[in-house]
Structure 1
Amino acid sequence: MQWFPTPPTDNLYKFFAISGLLMLGGALFVIFALAYLDYRTERETDDSLYHFSSQQNQQQFRNRITAIKNLEPKKDLIAHLSDKLNNDLEFLTNALKVQTEIDVGYKARTPDTLDLVFDFVQARETFSLVAGLIYIVIAACLTVFGISCWRKKVQIPGERLNELDEEIKKASLLKLQLEIAQMQPMSETVKRLFELGDLMRPAK
């Protein structure tokens, strides 16, 4: 006596296969997300360094302009500028204005959830790598197991049943054709007997 109902293996194998594929899709999404976060972090780092350099340049220009206005020509010289440009107040003022206008649009971004995830992964790089590999292996095994079992236990038997059904139909059709062929000579025989009977009757 069967106490528990038989599980629908067809749906179970499909569930394994689809679950594995979804897990693999999730793994790909995480990989692309981490790659994007890495790219975004590098870009923001470059922007921060540029902002810091711009702030230093602005301070150098301000100090040099102040020194010129205070009639101190040798104070706060800017190393990468020539003596002529170091003493050109108009050039220094315009350069400070350009640096300030460029730096106006910079604003440090507030960290979000993706940043926290990326920081967690970076802090536990070895653990995250091992966990990711285990996750991918499990997903791949589920996919292969589900597809192979579904093909072996559902698809192939179904194809064989369809082929057997086709063979049974062909055999039934052939049998019917043989029966019809066997009936046709009998009708011809009966017709011949009637013809012989007409010949054997005496003429009136």
Structure 2
Amino acid sequence: MSWMPTAPTDNLYKFSALWGLRMLLGLLLFFAWLISIQMQIEKEMDSAQHYYRSAMILPDIEQRLDALKQGKVNEHRLAWALPHWTPQDERVILEIAAKRHRQSMAASKSIMDQKAGEALAYLRRLDVLLIGFIYIVLATGLFVFGFMRWKRKLHDVEGKLRDAELTMRELGIEKLRIEIAQLRRSGRRS
């Protein structure tokens, strides 16, 4: 008795085919993960735009607020501030804008720290691409080879055996009919 178990040769092709199919399903899950990473990167890009836009505008707003607090109404005017605003109205609006920009920067900062792009950068390496290619070839090869061999060596043979057995039964029934017909003829003669 051998200590090494032997593979079931009658189901080896089926095993190969099903394992290849399982690997292909894993590949589909991998692509779903890539799509989610891509969506996360787009979210990070939007957050980065919001962050840097707020980071560029906030110092100008703060300079204008300081000028308004010091009573210097004509210094550091913002191009987008409406000319009919009074200094008091402008100050209230700019304080609200500054608060919202700080909140936007804080919210965007946490999303930008996730660094989903690093996962895609890892996938661009040549060795990772080579392993991915080998995985795809192996999964497809196992799937195609296993099902083709399983069909040819097992399924087709079983189909031929079933057809042969059906033919044998039909021939046996036909032989019995002939024998019954002969017995009936000989029974009438006697």
Q: Could you tell me how far apart the structure 1 residues matched to 2:53 and 2:5 are?
A: 73
Aligned to 1:154: 154
Aligned partner letter, 2:92: T
Bigger Rg, structure 1 or 2 = 1
- CA spacing shift, 1:26–1:75, aligned 2, 3 Å: same
Q: Could you tell me how far apart the structure 2 residues matched to 1:15 and 1:71 are?
A: 83
Quote how far apart the aligned CAs of 1:85 are.
Answer: 6.1
Spell out structure 1 runs of 4+ moving beyond 3 A.
4-7, 85-89, 109-112, 114-119
Aligned to 1:45: 45
Aligned partner letter, 2:8: P
Aligned to 1:172: 172
Q: Which shifted more, 145-154 or 31-40? A: 31-40
Aligned partner letter, 1:81: W
- CA spacing shift, 1:160–1:29, aligned 2, 3 Å: same
Q: Percent identity at matched positions?
A: 26
Q: Secondary structure at the match of 1:72?
A: coil
Q: Which shifted more, 142-151 or 18-27? A: 18-27
Q: Could you tell me how far apart the structure 1 residues matched to 2:94 and 2:174 are?
A: 99
Q: Which shifted more, 38-47 or 152-161? A: 38-47
Q: Could you tell me how far apart the structure 2 residues matched to 1:34 and 1:86 are?
A: 50
Equivalenced residue count is 183
Quote how far apart the aligned CAs of 1:93 are.
Answer: 2.3
RMSD across aligned positions (CA):
2.7
- CA spacing shift, 1:116–1:62, aligned 2, 3 Å: closer
Aligned to 1:121: 123
Aligned to 1:9: 9
> What stretches of structure 1 of length at least 5 have no aligned partner?
191-204
Q: Deviations over 1:54-99 (max 9, x none)?
A: 2332332221021022122343232x32571686441342243145
Asked whether the 8 Å contact 2:61–2:98 carries over to 1, the reply is no
Q: Deviations over 1:140-171 (max 9, x none)?
A: 01101000000000000000000001001001
Aligned partner letter, 2:50: Y
> What stretches of structure 2 of length at least 5 have no aligned partner?
none
Q: Secondary structure at the match of 2:11?
A: helix
Question: What's the TM-score once normalised by structure 1's chain length?
Answer: 0.77
Q: Could you tell me how far apart the structure 1 residues matched to 2:26 and 2:42 are?
A: 24
